[in-house]
Structure 1
Amino acid sequence: MTTTNDQATPARHRRRARPPGRGGGSGSRRGPQRRKRRSLRVALATTLAVVVLGTAGLGWIYLKLNGGIDTFDADGLSRDRPDAVSGGQNVLVIGSDARTDGNSAYGGGDKDDVGRSDTAFLLHVYADRRHALAVSIPRDTLVTIPPCRLPDGTWTEPRANTMFNAAFSVGQTPKGNPACTQNTVESLTGLRVDHTIVVDFKGFAELTDVVGGVKVCVPGDVYENDLNPNRATRGRLVLPQGEQTVAGQQALDYVRLRHGIGDGSDIGRIKRQQAFVSSLLKKIKEDGFTPARLLPLADAATQSMSVDPGLGTADKLLSFALSLKDVDLRHTRFVTVPWRYEGSRVAIVEPDASELWAALKADRTIDGEDAGGTASPSASPSPSVSASADPTDRVDSTGIDVVVRNGTTTTGLASRAGSLLMRHGFTVTGTGNADRQDHATTVVRYGDGLRAQAEKVARLFPGAEVAAQPGSGIDLVLGRTYAEPGAAASSAPAGVPSSVAEGARSAADDPCSDLTYGEGG
């Protein structure tokens, strides 16, 4: 039997076929639901596409970063390293003046020159991750360079009274010797360096380009012959006088400039470099510590940067950068290791330097605040610090000679400590007063290759620190922790020495404020 379509089509099909919005049946209710489902499917598809493309793009960036990160050989690190004693981190930042790998285009000179460390500072990030202190080490500082590994696998002998920047060129390899510089800093400070970062001329210039430039202050016009005093003519204007934003080659010229500003000293240049890094950190902080901001920055940095294996992947590098996002600019300070001139070189001033390292080891800020809030209570103490030494314990002291000096106003202290040492078999070769009598902490200073012996001395003096010194021998300088019974329990450093704190710069400071240009500026 033949029927018409209207007769054969069920009512529900006829209603579904009606255009949406016509009539008052149930189709008018299902239409909006259908549109919602369709919109949801489109949104999900779009989101999925974005996620897929975004993940692919992010993955490509990560692969690109991983491919650009250069790590140095950790086999060159010392076999006698300090232990970590706080929840803080110590990061050594080295600026290399090597001309290899295209860097001569930025710094001039011989393209085959492996160079030295042009600048270096040890950044201590406190355990609370809100405070940080950067300590600059002048390149001309006289130090003892400990044994360092050569390319053939052999190790050098210690070298006393050697300029600090010479450590980077031990072995004369094209990439320098970051491990040797790290060994030198650990030996000098008694602090374990958790990470080391080396940035060359190209990396520095590209980094400043990516952030869009850094604000600096220039006290007078700077010309080409200020950058190169051997130039016969003044040359072109490189940096005009006044406050300005610099990037790329101009930024590099500013931080390397030595003879065109102030007294032409490296100390004056360090002050400008500290102001520059402060301004750079402020710019990065303002832009935001997000992966989107950090990835281009990391990409630029990794092109001409070497790091220790602990930062050798994109994940590790970005994770480390993000861990610094809560560090307050006001609580980020820059200082220089206590120093004095020794001829044309720089000598470290003691006991100020030892007190500075002790403060960092204890996570004490420049203001004396305890910033070790997140330190693990179970962290093992360094063998260089005696937290609970019992003087009645026998110490193997065979063949260890010690000079004892009283660093307090308590009379007879050196004799008392000398007797204690001799009861334990040490040989006391002399007693007397220290250079001053206001030492808060007892310090055992040791010469080349004597760290292990110095630690044995420190075991007899609760709260004592150990610190390297140029030359040979072991000197015990007694502080209040030994003069006053029970003082060890409250002997944590009050902060860095006032001689250091007075010259500190905050990363939040204006780039033109409190900026000296050397002793003559």
Structure 2
Amino acid sequence: MGDGRPGRAHRRKQHAKQRSRPRRGRILAWTGGVLAVLVLGAAGAGFWAYRQLDGNITSADLEHRLDGNRPEKLSSGSKNILVVGSDSRAGANGKYGGKDLNTMQSDTLMVVHLAANRKWATVMSLPRDSYVRIPSCERGDGKKSAPHSFKINESFAIGGSKGDIGDAAACTIKTVEQNTGLRMDHFMSLDFQGFKGMVNALGGIEVCPKTPIHDPKAHLDMAAGCQTVKDEKALGYVRTRYSVGDGSDLGRISRQQEFMRALAEKAKKKVTSPDELYDFLDSTTKSLTTDKALAGLKPLYGLANEVKGIPKDRLTFLTVPNYPRQADIPTDRANVVWQYPQAARLFDQLAHDKEVDKKRLEAESRDPVPTPSIRVRVLNGTGKAGRAADAAKELRALGFTVTSTGNAPAPVKKTTVSCPEDLRRSAEVLASRVPDSVSRTDTRASGSVTLTVGQDYEGLR
């Protein structure tokens, strides 16, 4: 086509090469699962179709919406892509969910980490019921929200209170960055109607529920057994929650990941016929919003080329280690909290571009230490009045039990977590919430963990 994009002959040659080599993995997220299919199919669909599809993609200008308080990029060459399944109530999406929901909602939230060498990738799901700290965000009307703690998906609604997906994305990025310490490089969002159109264009996707599903909230009534779903049933299947399994968001995440695997496999089979694929591409691009750097088929094609060679055994799906918040707050049966120190280790590994051992992570996460069970004595080692009280307030907000506050014998530069040997696991949880702290065993201490606030203390994570 004379513009650097691959022609049909080149595409057929590449497709033949793919059939002759072992099957490779793709980044199978809401948009990532069909990313390579989307751009490869569009490249062979003709110039008019390419222009049409390229123009469908919405661009969100995020740079001026994000302030300077962002995590440092610790691994050159790696990429973190924040992917959101948008539960917007605007337009045709209005019939889903509660009638009183007027703001934009996020139904699925994940971070796709691409290693700098592009030899492995991790897709990290963030349960939308994660109870986290949400920073102050622009609401879209010039006003700012106050910092507070709530479900992580509320950040999308706060920023999108006026219907602007750029504002919604900015608040979500700030929330994810401040709670994980991971700097986001790109953003993608796909709404309900786009997902349904993708499935319909492929003639539906086969699913095999083990038990019947009856969920009025998801507009779903399904018999048990294998069946092909499309339209409202497909949408309901990936959205249903309370009527399947334990009713948790974690179960829904697992179903969504399996559904997207099946969708991506079926889409790859149809990529050889641009005419047949056009409806699929049109539905996807019309409902796709990205940051400005990814807003177009050409940059998406470049990204697809980077990830298409990742082997399946080096593509890891996992969920942030967590446990029911009810273990911390008995009256809260609706949320989960991230499990420390396991969550902090996971974030640190991805920040430094280190491949995650999923089996080891899961093994280490089997026996969480509830935060209220951790008794903390806080000492002020800064030489400035009030620092112990400030730290104690932060600790209580995270659920820790503060037993006392006081002054350290002398000023100290480094913030330190110390404990007797029998409280080592409790100390690990606390230390993981205090960036750059030093840990040590203190045989003189008894019954509690001691946090000595040093001159380097900048707050909890």
Separation (CA, whole Å) in 1 of partners of 2:309 and 2:273 = 12
- Is the contact made by 2:208 and 2:227 (CA closer than 8 Å) also made in structure 1? yes
Which residues in structure 2 correspond to 1:66-215 (within 5 Å)?
66-74=54-62, 75-86=64-75, 87-104=77-94, 107=96, 109-110=98-99, 113-159=102-148, 161-171=149-159, 172-176=161-165, 177-215=168-206
User: What is the one-letter code of the residue matched to 2:55?
Assistant: G
- Is the contact made by 2:140 and 2:164 (CA closer than 8 Å) also made in structure 1? no
Separation (CA, whole Å) in 2 of partners of 1:279 and 1:93 = 19
Q: Percent identity?
A: 32
Gaps of 5+ in 2: 1-8, 10-41, 326-331, 360-381, 393-406, 440-456
- Is the contact made by 2:419 and 2:427 (CA closer than 8 Å) also made in structure 1? no
- Is the contact made by 1:401 and 1:427 (CA closer than 8 Å) also made in structure 2? no
Q: Does residue 306 in structure 1 map to residue 289 in structure 2? A: yes
Q: Does residue 280 in structure 1 map to residue 268 in structure 2? A: no
Q: Does residue 243 in structure 1 map to residue 226 in structure 2? A: yes
Gaps of 5+ in 1: 1-46, 48-53, 229-236, 370-395, 405-417, 447-453, 462-471, 477-521
Q: Does residue 445 in structure 1 map to residue 433 in structure 2? A: yes
Alpha-carbon shift at residue 182 of structure 1 (Å): 1.1
Separation (CA, whole Å) in 2 of partners of 1:293 and 1:420 = 75
Which residues in structure 2 correspond to 1:413-432 (within 5 Å)?
422-424=411-413, 431-432=418-419
Separation (CA, whole Å) in 2 of partners of 1:431 and 1:60 = 66
- For 2:116, what is the secondary structure of its paired residue? coil
Q: Corresponding residue for 1:318?
A: 301
Q: Corresponding residue for 1:474?
A: 459
* Count of paired positions: 353
Q: Deviations over 1:366-402 (max 9, x none)?
A: 3389xxxxxxxxxxxxxxxxxxxxxxxxxx9988957
Q: Corresponding residue for 1:361?
A: 351
User: What is the one-letter code of the residue matched to 1:353?
Assistant: A
Separation (CA, whole Å) in 2 of partners of 1:83 and 1:125 = 17
- Is the contact made by 1:88 and 1:124 (CA closer than 8 Å) also made in structure 2? yes
Out of 320, 336, 339, which is 1:337 matched to? 320
Q: Corresponding residue for 1:14?
A: none
- For 1:144, what is the secondary structure of its paired residue? strand
User: What is the one-letter code of the residue matched to 1:166?
Assistant: E
Which residues in structure 2 correspond to 1:362-381 (within 5 Å)?
362-367=352-357
Separation (CA, whole Å) in 2 of partners of 1:95 and 1:133 = 18
Distance change (3 Å), C-alpha of 1:199 and 1:437:
same
Distance change (3 Å), C-alpha of 1:111 and 1:420:
same
User: What is the one-letter code of the residue matched to 2:433?
Assistant: R
Separation (CA, whole Å) in 1 of partners of 2:272 and 2:124 = 24
Which residues in structure 2 correspond to 1:478-517 (within 5 Å)?
none
TM-score, length-scaled by structure 1: 0.58
Distance change (3 Å), C-alpha of 1:101 and 1:327:
farther
Distance change (3 Å), C-alpha of 1:80 and 1:398:
farther
Separation (CA, whole Å) in 2 of partners of 1:310 and 1:421 = 51
- Is the contact made by 2:195 and 2:235 (CA closer than 8 Å) also made in structure 1? yes
Separation (CA, whole Å) in 2 of partners of 1:195 and 1:84 = 13
Q: Corresponding residue for 1:221?
A: 212
Distance change (3 Å), C-alpha of 1:112 and 1:338:
closer
- Is the contact made by 1:78 and 1:148 (CA closer than 8 Å) also made in structure 2? no
Separation (CA, whole Å) in 1 of partners of 2:187 and 2:87 = 16
| Aligned-pair Cα RMSD in Å | 4.0
Alpha-carbon shift at residue 357 of structure 1 (Å): 0.8
- Is the contact made by 1:227 and 1:259 (CA closer than 8 Å) also made in structure 2? no
Distance change (3 Å), C-alpha of 1:268 and 1:313:
same
Q: Deviations over 1:44-79 (max 9, x none)?
A: xxx9xxxxxx99973322321232111223122242
- Is the contact made by 1:421 and 1:427 (CA closer than 8 Å) also made in structure 2? no
TM-score, length-scaled by structure 2: 0.65
Alpha-carbon shift at residue 264 of structure 1 (Å): 1.8
Q: Which segment drifts farther, 217-226 or 437-446? A: 437-446
Distance change (3 Å), C-alpha of 1:179 and 1:196:
same
Alpha-carbon shift at residue 208 of structure 1 (Å): 1.9
Q: Deviations over 1:223-248 (max 9, x none)?
A: 463736xxxxxxxx733311233333
- Is the contact made by 1:119 and 1:139 (CA closer than 8 Å) also made in structure 2? yes
User: What is the one-letter code of the residue matched to 1:122?
Assistant: V
Q: Which has the larger radius of gyration?
A: 1
Alpha-carbon shift at residue 257 of structure 1 (Å): 0.9
Separation (CA, whole Å) in 2 of partners of 1:308 and 1:346 = 29
